[in-house]
Structure 1
Amino acid sequence: MRDQIDMRRRLDQPCAGWNLQALPRRGFLAGALACLAGGARAQGFAGLGAAAEGFALPERGRELIFPADHGPHPDFRIEWWYLTANLRDGRGRDFGCQWTLFRSALSPFESEGWQSPQLWLAHAGLTTPERHFSAERRGRGGIGQAGVRAHPFSAWIDEWHLRGAPEAAMEARAVGGEFAFSLSLEARGSLVLHGDRGYSVKSPDGRASHYYSQPFLEARGELIVPEGTIAVEGLAWMDREWSSQPLAPDQTGWDWISLHLDTGEKLMGFRLRSAAGGVFTAATWIAADGTATPYPDGALEMTPLATARVAGRRVPVRWRVALPARGLEMELAAVFDGAWQALTPPYWEGPVRVSGSHSGMGYLEMTGY
């Protein structure tokens, strides 16, 4: 793995090797999930509130079917396969890993080979108590460089991969300029559907996605950082989401959490911020046996308590999170304040420690800062 770190230093530079003039732009999510859009501004964070003419839209009441829905949905404009892992080494030090593959479509009409409208972007992050590492990969659909297969499940770009069976066991691997990780994942519970049986509302005017998770993963493996190789184990969480216009045009970013509580229960929650200062929230309380209870807008409270100067901006790194209906009032604190992903698009993503009415660990993602 260490040899591959050195080989990929040059390739992990933004837009390396891309012929930007040769790539079509019609319908592209400006600034969202490919280097083409650079720093362009669009409707909603990363263009996710832009019109989606010709693409499919999520439907309330559509039954999610497995393993088929582990695979891609090319009639939708955007989707992702997303893994986070809260890990500890033999000395009890906290680490975090993130692996994400995004699919973004330039057009709702499929073609083969280099004419495929599918763009692929992958992000990987590794957080230690002292440092944060990140890397990204880009690829075109139709040529085998990147893709997803539903059964047996496999998501890949170059040698990065997440594969196996979300209901049973998987493995994840990524290599960046100064880091790498390889994890084995064992499922200890069932898949969880968010919102209304997987139909997850994201805005007051009803923008939505199809969204489910596998939050019951036990992880073990190794991390490679400049100081050496570290054996780790812990808990992981896989998210799956797809849509074509998941945000309202005035929604400028989100704050999202996935928490593993020491009681065996889990919590997923998010707040979406609007340009006018309002927020839209949703949450899913997951019992230790996998029973999921969704909570609508307003039930979850997320309040920043402290910020840190990160990448030239003020970013919340300590939060109060409350779900009064469950008697939850917790404080989240970043393991490392500087977990900034200087990627496409840039955002904060890292592990957090949980204290208060419940203790545990989890992940926090913040965009639009």
Structure 2
Amino acid sequence: MSLIRLLILITALNLSGCSPEDQSTTSNAGFAGLGQDADGFQHAEPHQLLTFPTDHVAHPDYRIEWWYLTANLEDNDGDPLGLQWTLFRQALMPPSERPAPTPWAADQLWMAHMAISQGEQHQVAERFGRSHSQAPLNTLQDSQAGVISSPFHAWLDDWQLKASEEADGNDFNHLTLTAYSGEGASRFGYTLKLAAEGPLVLHGEAGFSQKAANGQGSMYYSQPFWQITGDVTLHGETKTVSGRGWLDREWSSQLLDARQSGWDWFSIHLDAGHKLMAFQLRGGGDGEEGSNYRSGTWITPQGQTTSLTNADITMTPLATSVVAGRYIPTRWRLEVPSVDVDVNVEAPYANRWMTTSVPYWEGEVEVSDRASGEPRGEGYLEMTGY
């Protein structure tokens, strides 16, 4: 669930404009209001069939959605570097309440985040946009933000993830990503090529990812097999980079249970070629009060999957760091005995706080064997609600 992905953030932005009476209601509706009722919107449910390339594009009848890329890279000096790029969409009203499309009407809010992390450096930028869900295709491409399937193109202003020029029109396996912010010595961003070396992965029950014991959830798939090359600019200096990426796609209308306060989400590339997605939502479990809800997917090098349940996964914080005035768990023990995983997952740098409109922690992590201490892989960790 990418861990469920931060479109949460967009919801929280909407809530920030609520009246005090509205805020008191949404404060009991899960993290950032994502547990509130979503009457009038379409809901993610089991047995929905995902089809491609159709499901690469936006689903405006659902309340929230995201296209979420993280990458573990090295520059031409062999130094590690991490990056994130995310496009979020939120419907501002149910389909039945939407105005007719006009140049001034909008029923979809868009937000994009980008970040580059290397050593103690951590640069973050954010943008906002809007669109109308019923805009004709021939005018949608002129909108400030949107997503189309053929050729694939997701954008907000000039930040864009799109099919490579040499790719077939329906090809989602070869993409380019471009995003820059700032000027002169403060300029940072990237121009990257993404090539998929494995299949798309459906999480949960054929793409339906349950998020709490009472059954609500999201539609969720990933492309965890990206090989990435390109150029990254940080503090005005451009470096050649290469490495591995992970793209999450998720959409829902009521993502969380009202009891859930946030989440911890891991995407891990193991050196043997396997990959692991695992998350816990704090609260919403079916055990004692305050229990967490966990889920995940074990992925073979060929892309075959095994769904993991709460009973399969143990997540234990081992150490915390003070980040932005908060105590953030930046070292974890992650256990999945059924696939012989018992590892420590540690952020080599704690200062990966995303200073966006609704802040959260997102950063690169190193994975080592719990018993021997030997390196086993790398990945990304996202934490919200702290």
Q: Could you tell me whether the CA contact under 8 Å between 1:280 and 1:298 is conserved in 2?
A: no
Structure 2 CA distance, aligned partners of 1:30 and 1:318? Answer: 24
Q: Aligned-residue CA RMSD in angstroms?
A: 1.9
Which one of 39, 44, 69 corresponds to residue 55 of structure 2? 69
Does residue 1:254 correspond to 2:240, yes or no?
no
Give the corresponding residue for 1:108: 94
> Alpha carbons of 1:261 and 1:367: their partners in 2 closer, same or farther (altered >3 Å)?
same
- Within 5 Å, give how 1:207-218 maps onto structure 2: 207-218=216-227
> Alpha carbons of 1:328 and 1:241: their partners in 2 closer, same or farther (altered >3 Å)?
same
Quote the offset at 1:91 in angstroms: 2.6
- Within 5 Å, give how 1:251-290 maps onto structure 2: 251-274=260-283, 277-290=290-303
Quote the offset at 1:270 in angstroms: 0.3
- Within 5 Å, give how 1:148-187 maps onto structure 2: 148-164=147-163, 167-177=172-182, 178=186, 179-187=188-196
Q: 5+ unaligned residues in a row in structure 1: which ranges? A: 1-28
Aligned length: 341
- Within 5 Å, give how 1:1-369 maps onto structure 2: 32-33=10-11, 35-38=13-16, 42=27, 43-109=29-95, 110=98, 111-113=100-102, 114-142=104-132, 144-164=143-163, 167-177=172-182, 178=186, 179-226=188-235, 228-274=237-283, 277-356=290-369, 359-369=376-386
TM-score, with normalisation over the residues of structure 2?
0.84
Structure 2 CA distance, aligned partners of 1:163 and 1:69? Answer: 15
What is the percentage of aligned positions where both structures have the same residue? 47
Quote the offset at 1:33 in angstroms: 4.1
Structure 1 CA distance, aligned partners of 2:156 and 2:297? Answer: 31
Quote the offset at 1:125 in angstroms: 1.1
Q: 5+ unaligned residues in a row in structure 2: which ranges? A: 1-6, 18-22, 133-141, 164-169
Quote the offset at 1:140 in angstroms: 1.1
TM-score, with normalisation over the residues of structure 1?
0.88
Q: String of CA shifts for 1:183-241, please: whole Å, max 9, x gaps.
A: 11011000000000001000010111000000000001111111611211000011000
Q: Could you tell me whether the CA contact under 8 Å between 1:167 and 1:190 is conserved in 2?
A: no
Give the corresponding residue for 2:137: none
Q: String of CA shifts for 1:113-164, please: whole Å, max 9, x gaps.
A: 4322100011111111111111110011137000111221111001101111
The DSSP-based 3-state class of the residue aligned with 1:115 is: coil
The DSSP-based 3-state class of the residue aligned with 1:46 is: helix
Q: String of CA shifts for 1:280-302, please: whole Å, max 9, x gaps.
A: 00010000010011111231111
The code of the aligned residue for 1:257 comes to F
Q: Could you tell me whether the CA contact under 8 Å between 1:219 and 1:233 is conserved in 2?
A: yes
